[in-house]
Chain A
Amino acid sequence: MFSIELKHVTKKFGKVVAVDDLNLVIAPGSFLTLLGPSGCGKTTVLRMIAGLEEPDAGEILIDGRPVFSSEQAIFVPPPQRNLGLVFQSYALWPHLTVFQNVAFGLQMAKRPKPEIQERVGAILKDLQIGGMEQRYPQEMSGGQQQRVALARMLAPKPGIFLLDEPLSNLDARLRVDMRSELKRLHRDTRATAVYVTHDQLEALTMSTHIAVMREGRLQQLASPSQVYRTPANLFVADFIGTPKINLIDAEAVTENGVVTLKCGAFEIPNAPTSASGKVVVAIRPEDIRLALEKTPGAVEFTTYSVLPAGSEIIINARRGETTLVIKETRDIEIEMDRAVWLTFDTKKINLYDKTTGDLIASR
């Protein structure tokens, strides 16, 4: 179990700042996901931890020991960092068999042959691709190739797993299966894992910690539920969750010590905040209560589209200029173009500053 620490790490490619003054502490044994849209610098962070990229400034420590430091001019090459890496493309060597691929790291470490044989066989068996030692990667399915890539990473027993979008090349169904296997694998090996993805569902389901990044800067580092429940800013709020969170421009007005959120077409009274002025109201689609009959305190909307998805129904509803997304888990029939009544639970609302985008009041 190793900790990883990044201090003021900056990396530029030409004039583009890929990673900007990043500070990150990854506790031993945790599963940290670097999450963000493409081009946010998450893969660069992973490659800098691996030692494939050299930062321009800052310090990287693994297990408390600096592996990179611009101050002390330290750079420890990748093989001496005790880590394993799975590439997005898997990067399996097409001219080597599965056995040769997986054994490579052990051969480089000059392990005795019988040990290599045994270890490779055991890992392949664990990953349910036992007996395929003599195949070439391209003779296997995408899912099997993925397992070979995992096996190659696991073989030398690294203390840190680095995974760069390992599931993005699998079909949707296999991806879901592999999530639970990867989580199990992390649990069983007790290694520290750093996982890069742009798929927020992967991040939410697998990680112990999520680091959301945007344009080279860290936006929020928290547990999955915290990131989901109380996003640190509008970017995180907008990026996490499907269907997307509802973001409504509003004016916070205080009358008689009570704050009312004036959302244009409707109002939310009794907001638990002292804010005033222009704010953004954020509410998750599942946190809006929907009624088919007129309800006291509810606002009338008209359904614009109704999209049943088996276990849930996604409803787009309109009132004036405002369109809201609602997730309904009850098994009910709702027609398009009908009136519905929506209630907003003020305990489930987050408020953001309109200009800075930062969280000002949370539930």
Chain B
Amino acid sequence: MSVVALPSSFARPARRVWRKLTRPHVLVAGVMLALLAYLVITPLLIMIQTTITWQPEDNRLVRGITPGEFTLFHWERVFNSIISQTMLWTPLQNTLVTSIGISIFALTLGSLLAWLVVRTDLPGKKFIASVAIIPYMLPSWTISLAWIVVFKNQRVGGSIGFLEALTGAQVPDWLSYGPVPIIITLSLHYYAFAFLLVSGALQSLDARLEESGEMLGATRWQVLSRITFPLVIPAILSAFILTFSRAMGSFGTPAFLGNPVRYYVLSTTLYNNISSRLQADGFVLGLVLIAISIVTIYLNQRIIGVRKSYATLTGKGFASTPVRLRALKYPILILVGMFLFIAVVAPLGFLGYQSLMLQKNSFALDNLSLHFWIGESNPKIADGIAGILTDVQTWVSAWNSIALAVLVGLITSVLGIFLGYAVVKGRGTWLSKIVEQVAFLPYLMPSIAFGAIYIGMFAQPLGPLPALYGTFWILVVVSVAKNLPYSSRSGTAAMLQVGSELEEAALVGGASWLTRFRRIIIPLTSSGLVAGFLLTFITSMRELSLIVLLVTPTTRTLTTLNFRYAEQGYHQPGDALAMMLVVIILACEWIVRHFRGAQIGKGLGA
């Protein structure tokens, strides 16, 4: 045995390990993991740390403390003090009541509509389906603004709503503000989400399973209740949980419809706390929201985890004989038409109408004017607010909104491809699992809480990034991070479709990793790339809860500008802005879809 033998025998395993570590997917996964730790884990830790240390602003409440030292003061204050009732328990109760109510209504409406569109011979199904998903593309609070236009009573502020103006009778408080309108308006938004999830499940359901039931003598109703329904139950349950968790984190609607009557939910309480510089207390509420969300998602996994494995639900779509509605066909069509009118057309109509009203409280035709669209500033009208199209603030915000949405869409779809690559190529390894799990984390964090985290995080320079707070870039970073679960999912799905053999064929053919990525993987995943882009583009365009805590006057977007108008009681310019946002979103959606169809139709064929 010579001494020289040692390095060479040592080198062998080292070379092997080195080769393993330098495999492309391991490198990509490593980089992605570092990025995720930076964007997701660090902020969460900082948030927790803030809640268990004394903050400078606590000097106002307690004497003789040293900021930075450990304390359970904030947790005690939120959970076990005289203000706990107003700070935590009442909002928590309100949150649960509204979120559960919203989930139930949204699920019922969405599932019914999905069944009608996917499984019956209802006329005009395609058109119904495309109109039904419009609410999903719009900000969740558009309908609540329209609600105010119609049902406002004199309780808050002088003006009255359309209903009161029309009938002369006072609209009762419970119908104007509070839980009932919150549940109704958000249900009219989230039903579209449930509709998408459930119709997806129904489409992938093998019709032969239903036909087998029919062959054995079951009636249509028996097939529906004993075969179809049990098979889509996992999808319905998970749609319920997902709706619940989203409704819980929504901010705009409870702010518009709850705040005026001091009906607070956790998200609005969190916002109020942070606005009044009680950051640590707000963060405790944020952690409570995250905890509830984690528990519901965990329950979701537990309850339907086993059932999810129905192999039949993963197949492709199958042609099936639609259920004949017979005599009910046209009555149902009329009902669906009315529903879509109430959920989609009417809100936009009322918003449009109010944006044209010069005086707040007159619905008369002679009160109509384009002032809040194109008028110059006039001190006599609405404290001198100019029409939105002449106000430079609008254009700055619109530019911010579009720039934000485009940047976030681009960054996340590219990140999605890399995440998908790391997850799919490393399938079965712990690295791949960790990347997948961590990328999913932002999903568990309600938007408003996630935004709150980033205040603390980027107040000072952190790692390679300077202090981003107050800049446009913090909006980009937070939106990218929050959308990671979606992009990693769509990237993974796209990558799974590509199949590893397509890349291996190029490897055997002599292509380097970069060539493989450029010539094989990117072109093959581009359809997923565009779809992912569209999804995040729309999400960022309509986002309010996530960024409302992070914007400054110069980085305002259309949504936050709208929120400001609404907060200050300027309804007409707010409505006009909402209309503008709706138009921009629908136009962009149309353009991207059009462009995408033209692009991918050819090369990929089927």
Which residues of A line the B interface, CB within 8 A?
A: 13-14, 50-52, 54, 70-73, 75, 77-79, 83-85, 87-89, 91-95, 104-105, 108-109, 136, 138-139, 152, 156
Chain A, Cβ-Cβ closest to B501: A91
CB <8 Å contact, B605 and A138 = yes
- Give the most central of A13, A84, A89, A108: most B CB within 10 Å: A108
Is B506 part of the binding interface, using a Cβ–Cβ cutoff of 8 Å? Answer: yes
CB <8 Å contact, A152 and B505 = yes
A-side interface mostly? loop
CB <8 Å contact, B605 and A91 = no
CB <8 Å contact, A93 and B508 = no
> CA–CA, A262 to B16, complex, Å?
58
CB <8 Å contact, A73 and B16 = yes
CB <8 Å contact, A108 and B504 = no
> CA–CA, A78 to B23, complex, Å?
14
CB <8 Å contact, A14 and B428 = yes
Please tell me the number of chain B residues within 8 Å of chain A, measured between CB atoms: 25
Contacts of A75 in B (CB 8 A): 19
Contacts of B15 in A (CB 8 A): 73
Instruction: From the candidates A78, A87, A94, name the one contacting B603 in the complex (CB within 8 A).
Output: A94
18 A-B pairs whose Cβ atoms sit less than 8 Å apart in the complex:
A71-B12, A72-B12, A75-B19, A84-B508, A85-B505, A87-B501, A87-B505, A89-B499, A91-B501, A91-B504, A93-B506, A94-B524, A94-B605, A95-B603, A104-B511, A108-B510, A109-B510, A136-B603
Instruction: From the candidates B19, B499, B502, B509, name the one contacting A108 in the complex (CB within 8 A).
Output: B509
Is B303 part of the binding interface, using a Cβ–Cβ cutoff of 8 Å? Answer: no
B-side interface mostly? helix
CB <8 Å contact, A91 and B511 = no
Instruction: From the candidates A73, A93, A105, name the one contacting B502 in the complex (CB within 8 A).
Output: A93
Contacts of B553 in A (CB 8 A): none
> CA–CA, A118 to B521, complex, Å?
28
Residue interface bits B594-606, CB-to-A below 8 A is 1, else 0: 0000000001111
> CA–CA, A85 to B509, complex, Å?
9
> CA–CA, A51 to B23, complex, Å?
13
Contacts of B505 in A (CB 8 A): 85, 87, 91-93, 152
Contacts of A94 in B (CB 8 A): 524, 603-605
Is B520 part of the binding interface, using a Cβ–Cβ cutoff of 8 Å? Answer: yes
CB <8 Å contact, B504 and A87 = yes
Contacts of A104 in B (CB 8 A): 506, 509, 511
Contacts of B520 in A (CB 8 A): 93
> CA–CA, A33 to B11, complex, Å?
37
> CA–CA, A37 to B389, complex, Å?
72
- Give the most central of B15, B504, B511: most A CB within 10 Å: B504
CB <8 Å contact, B603 and A91 = no
Distance in Å from the Cβ of A135 to the closest Cβ of chain B? 10
Instruction: From the candidates B501, B504, B511, B605, name the one contacting A139 in the complex (CB within 8 A).
Output: B605
> CA–CA, A134 to B501, complex, Å?
23
Contacts of B515 in A (CB 8 A): 108
> CA–CA, A70 to B604, complex, Å?
42
Instruction: From the candidates A52, A71, A91, A136, name the one contacting B499 in the complex (CB within 8 A).
Output: A91
Distance in Å from the Cβ of A284 to the closest Cβ of chain B? 38
CB <8 Å contact, B603 and A105 = no
Contacts of B507 in A (CB 8 A): 52, 77-79
Chain B stretch 500-557: residues in CB contact (< 8 A) with chain A: 501-502, 504-511, 515, 520, 523-524
Distance in Å from the Cβ of B132 to the closest Cβ of chain A? 32
Residue interface bits B419-446, CB-to-A below 8 A is 1, else 0: 0000000001000000000000000000
Distance in Å from the Cβ of B522 to the closest Cβ of chain A? 10
- Give the most central of B502, B510, B520, B605: most A CB within 10 Å: B510
Residue interface bits B44-71, CB-to-A below 8 A is 1, else 0: 0000000000000000000000000000
Distance in Å from the Cβ of A103 to the closest Cβ of chain B? 10
Contacts of A84 in B (CB 8 A): 508
CB <8 Å contact, A138 and B11 = no
Chain A, Cβ-Cβ closest to B15: A73
CB <8 Å contact, A79 and B508 = yes
Chain A, Cβ-Cβ closest to B505: A91
Distance in Å from the Cβ of A75 to the closest Cβ of chain B? 6
Distance in Å from the Cβ of B213 to the closest Cβ of chain A? 32
Contact A73/B509 with A94-B524, A94-B605 known, Cβ cut-off 8 Å: no
> CA–CA, A93 to B11, complex, Å?
39
Chain B, Cβ-Cβ closest to A153: B508
Contact A73/B11 with A52-B504, A85-B505 known, Cβ cut-off 8 Å: yes
Contacts of A73 in B (CB 8 A): 11-12, 15-16
Contacts of B509 in A (CB 8 A): 79, 104-105, 108, 152, 156
> CA–CA, A13 to B429, complex, Å?
10
Contacts of B508 in A (CB 8 A): 50-52, 78-79, 83-85
The 5 closest A-B pairs by CB, nearest first: A108-B510, A91-B501, A79-B510, A105-B509, A73-B12
Distance in Å from the Cβ of A240 to the closest Cβ of chain B? 29
Chain B, Cβ-Cβ closest to A13: B428
> CA–CA, A14 to B520, complex, Å?
29
Contacts of B11 in A (CB 8 A): 73
CB <8 Å contact, A108 and B603 = no
> CA–CA, A109 to B509, complex, Å?
9
Distance in Å from the Cβ of B58 to the closest Cβ of chain A? 52
> CA–CA, A70 to B9, complex, Å?
11
Contacts of B605 in A (CB 8 A): 94, 136, 138-139
- Give the most central of A14, A52, A83: most B CB within 10 Å: A52
Contacts of B506 in A (CB 8 A): 93, 104
Contacts of B606 in A (CB 8 A): 138
> CA–CA, A77 to B508, complex, Å?
9
Residue interface bits B2-19, CB-to-A below 8 A is 1, else 0: 000000000110011001
Instruction: From the candidates A70, A93, A138, name the one contacting B524 in the complex (CB within 8 A).
Output: A93
Distance in Å from the Cβ of B7 to the closest Cβ of chain A? 12
Distance in Å from the Cβ of B433 to the closest Cβ of chain A? 13
Chain B, Cβ-Cβ closest to A139: B605
> CA–CA, A83 to B12, complex, Å?
26
Contacts of A88 in B (CB 8 A): 501
Distance in Å from the Cβ of B570 to the closest Cβ of chain A? 52
Distance in Å from the Cβ of A78 to the closest Cβ of chain B? 5
> CA–CA, A87 to B16, complex, Å?
27
Contacts of A70 in B (CB 8 A): 12, 16
Distance in Å from the Cβ of A108 to the closest Cβ of chain B? 4
CB <8 Å contact, B499 and A95 = no
> CA–CA, A108 to B603, complex, Å?
22
> CA–CA, A108 to B513, complex, Å?
12
Distance in Å from the Cβ of A360 to the closest Cβ of chain B? 43
> CA–CA, A341 to B153, complex, Å?
102
> CA–CA, A84 to B506, complex, Å?
11
Distance in Å from the Cβ of A50 to the closest Cβ of chain B? 6
Contact A95/B428 with A79-B507, A105-B509 known, Cβ cut-off 8 Å: no
Contacts of A13 in B (CB 8 A): 428
Contacts of A85 in B (CB 8 A): 504-505, 508
Chain A, Cβ-Cβ closest to B511: A108
- 13 further contact pairs, Cβ within 8 A, besides A52-B504, A94-B604: A77-B507, A79-B507, A85-B508, A87-B504, A91-B504, A91-B505, A95-B603, A104-B511, A108-B510, A108-B511, A136-B603, A136-B605, A152-B509
> CA–CA, A92 to B12, complex, Å?
37
> CA–CA, A87 to B505, complex, Å?
8
CB <8 Å contact, A91 and B510 = no
Residue interface bits B351-385, CB-to-A below 8 A is 1, else 0: 00000000000000000000000000000000000
> CA–CA, A8 to B504, complex, Å?
25
Distance in Å from the Cβ of A106 to the closest Cβ of chain B? 9
